[in-house]
Amino acid sequence: MYLSKLFAKTRKQVSKDEKSINAQFLERAGFISKEMAGVYNYLPLGFMMLEKIIKIIREEMNVIGGQEILMPTLTSIKSYKQTKRDKLDILFRTKLHSGSEYILNQSHEEVITPLVKQFVHSYKDLPVYIYQIQTKFRNEPRARSGLLRGREFLMKDLYSFHVDEKDLDEYYKKVQKVYKEIFDRIGIGKDTHLVYASGGSFSKFSHEFQTLCETGEDEIYLCNSCKIGVNKEIINEQKVCPECGNNKLVVKKAIEVGNIFKLKTKFSDAFELTYKDKDGKDKPVVMGCYGIGPSRIMGTIVEVFHDKAGMILPESVAPYKNHIVILGSRNQEAGIRKIIDKLGGEDNCLIDDREISAGQKFADADLMGMPYRVVISDKTLKKNSVEIKKRSEDKTELVKINKL
Ligand SMILES: [Zn+2]
């Protein structure tokens, strides 16, 4: 992609009310544009990054047998009344012309459970794992953290359906493993920890995945030996590490990037989702649910990986691997074209061909955060070379074009 053709431009300033690091850098770099607090447009580079995150999540969901569907955003309040969640204050409510009330979904248990009831009747139909990647809505009182706390945001939600708790427990462990794999591939694995959280009314614990970050809104208590955490909300009932019993837990700021729950029969009871076992007896289906927020992960990556000059994006999710800075070197088009092709062509290269100063080009390359900066100038071309610098490092290296 040529920067001269990209419709979204970098900006020097963003509005003063944008306090979070992730929104400041992503907006200045032309990745996103604010619609209102907690609601953003994803521009070409931002959308590419989001899609790369989603692709990794989707691949890993398919590894554990997930079948992808797409559920509606609008759901009748009647379903929420059935699960007694119609009074949640974060629900966005709306009405049809007829006056009947609808919800913009903040989660999809009220949709998936009746949906699965249409197709699951016997133990032979179980287990089944269904997920979607969809827009969710939450009427947040405060939305000042950029992509970290959206009123409208993307969510991958997986739901699992089992004959009994033993089967749920086994799958729940599998999801924990695959979540770790997802965070590793996205580049935040080293900083992301499994954290014990309250299980609500239906289970002793649920689990969160929390990424350590000074700007995080959450506080966790981390075990230094097994790197497992306890959420602040349950630290009074769980004062030691649940894995090794260590009682010296260290408090850390973190961002919640995923959560997994054993719903057991809470929703299957509400919607009478049952199956016939081998003896023809009716039994409630046992459920689990597993969330990851791709848009929140995008914000988290920027919170974790940046310096004063801008973002430092991991290669697996950066919109482009290379940021090519062309300086002077007119009449060298064929030579430049050859270099770009060697570096994987326009699919792998963001190419700064704009008629602006070298200083501005370097500043934008730092701001936008692609993993490698490649400078092509008269000086480098004379030596049949390009100058390469990793965004995460200071040193530059002159590399012969035929060695690229
Ligand atoms: Zn421990």
pLDDT tens-digit profile of 249-272? Answer: 999 999 999 999 999 999 999 999
Domain count across the chain: 2
**Do 60 and 198 have their domain in common?**
yes
Provide the residue range defining the domain that includes 291: 21-307
pLDDT in tens, 315-354: 999 999 999 999 986 778 888 999 999 999 999 999 999 9
Output the domain CATH number for residue 31: 3.30.930.10
38 vs 237: CA distance, rounded Å:
33
Q: Which of 272, 307, 342 is the endpoint of a domain?
A: 307
Q: Which of 307, 337, 365 is the endpoint of a domain?
A: 307
Paired sense of beta strands 322-326 and 349-352, if any: parallel
On whether residue 9 sits in a domain, the answer given is no
Cα 243 to ligand 1 centroid, rounded to whole Å: 5
Cα 240 to ligand 1 centroid, rounded to whole Å: 8
On whether residue 158 sits in a domain, the answer given is yes
Cα 336 to ligand 1 centroid, rounded to whole Å: 54
On whether residue 60 sits in a domain, the answer given is yes
Cα 259 to ligand 1 centroid, rounded to whole Å: 20
258 vs 189: CA distance, rounded Å:
12
**Do 256 and 287 have their domain in common?**
yes
CA-based end-to-end distance of the chain: 19
124 vs 278: CA distance, rounded Å:
9
Cis status, amide bond into 127, omega within 30 of 0 = yes
Paired sense of beta strands 396-400 and 385-390, if any: antiparallel
Cα 247 to ligand 1 centroid, rounded to whole Å: 8
**Do 186 and 41 have their domain in common?**
yes
**Do 70 and 163 have their domain in common?**
yes
**Do 285 and 365 have their domain in common?**
no
**Do 333 and 382 have their domain in common?**
yes
Cα 223 to ligand 1 centroid, rounded to whole Å: 5
217 vs 31: CA distance, rounded Å:
23
Cβ-contact 369, 318 below 8 angstroms: yes
Cα 81 to ligand 1 centroid, rounded to whole Å: 41
On whether residue 5 sits in a domain, the answer given is no
Cα 222 to ligand 1 centroid, rounded to whole Å: 8
Cα 61 to ligand 1 centroid, rounded to whole Å: 28
Cα 228 to ligand 1 centroid, rounded to whole Å: 6
Cα 230 to ligand 1 centroid, rounded to whole Å: 10
Q: How confident is the model at residue 18 (pLDDT cuts 50, 70, 90)?
A: confident
**Do 369 and 238 have their domain in common?**
no
Between 17-21, 56-60, 356-360, 382-386, the lowest mean confidence (pLDDT) is in: 17-21
On whether residue 163 sits in a domain, the answer given is yes
**Do 138 and 182 have their domain in common?**
yes
Cα 229 to ligand 1 centroid, rounded to whole Å: 8
For the cut 80, the answer to whether the pLDDT of residue 6 exceeds it is yes
Output the domain CATH number for residue 343: 3.40.50.800
Cα 173 to ligand 1 centroid, rounded to whole Å: 18
Cα 10 to ligand 1 centroid, rounded to whole Å: 45
Cα 287 to ligand 1 centroid, rounded to whole Å: 28
Rg (CA), the chain: 24
Q: Tell me, what's the pLDDT at 218?
A: 93
On whether residue 399 sits in a domain, the answer given is yes
**Do 231 and 149 have their domain in common?**
yes
On whether residue 376 sits in a domain, the answer given is yes
pTM metric for this prediction: 0.96
Q: Tell me, what's the pLDDT at 169?
A: 97
Cα 191 to ligand 1 centroid, rounded to whole Å: 16
Cα 196 to ligand 1 centroid, rounded to whole Å: 12
For the cut 90, the answer to whether the pLDDT of residue 16 exceeds it is no
Cα 157 to ligand 1 centroid, rounded to whole Å: 29
Cα 181 to ligand 1 centroid, rounded to whole Å: 21
Instruction: Give the pLDDT mean for 183-196.
Output: 97
On whether residue 124 sits in a domain, the answer given is yes
Q: Tell me, what's the pLDDT at 236?
A: 86
> Which of these, 179, 207, 209, 175, lies nearest to 191 by C-alpha position?
209
What are the E-state strand segments in 20-151? 32-36, 39-42, 67-68, 74-76, 92-95, 101-104, 128-137
**Do 336 and 302 have their domain in common?**
no
**Do 276 and 325 have their domain in common?**
no
**Do 338 and 298 have their domain in common?**
no
Cα 248 to ligand 1 centroid, rounded to whole Å: 9
